[in-house]
Amino acid sequence: MKKLKILFLCTGNSCRSQMAEGWARHLKADVVEPYSAGIETHGLNPNAVKVMAEAGVDISGQRSKYVDELKDIDFDYVITVCDNANESCPMFPRKTKVLHVGFDDPPRLAKTAETELQALDCYRRVRDEIKQFVEKLPDNLKEV
């Protein structure tokens, strides 16, 4: 069976798209060939790495990539995981389906946290929401 090539696209490819790629590799490697990129690059968010490691998923070897670095890959789906990426999504070949599944921005949520624990809880919540979405791949792509 051919694996679906899925690109998780976010603004800076530092957090949400990285977590989605990590979950897809961890949970769906048999049916999905996951990638992540950004319309900009902001580097890998250390708190995203930390909360994913807590869940048993190592994303520390991933790196922040600009979407143009992946232009030669023929994706089946591009999933924008933030509103900005959805609004600024580049054009993809006609056969590529572009879907938007927005998740809250953990760094933005964490700005109001009073402690490091509260800040990490913001990341954990979004991590778990992304996991729930990825667990249902590829069936949920028909519903979005």
**Which of the residues are catalytic?**
10, 82, 89
Q: Which of 81, 68, 75, 77 is nearest to 11 (CA)?
A: 81
DSSP state of 67: G
Report how far residue 126's alpha carbon sits from residue 138's, in angstroms, rounded to the nearest whole number: 20
> Can you spell out the DSSP letters for 88-142?
TPPP--TTSEEEE-----HHHHHTT-SSHHHHHHHHHHHHHHHHHHHHTTTGGGG
Q: Give, in order, the Cα–Cα distances in Å from 88 to each of 2, 100, 104, 110, 112.
A: 29, 12, 17, 24, 27
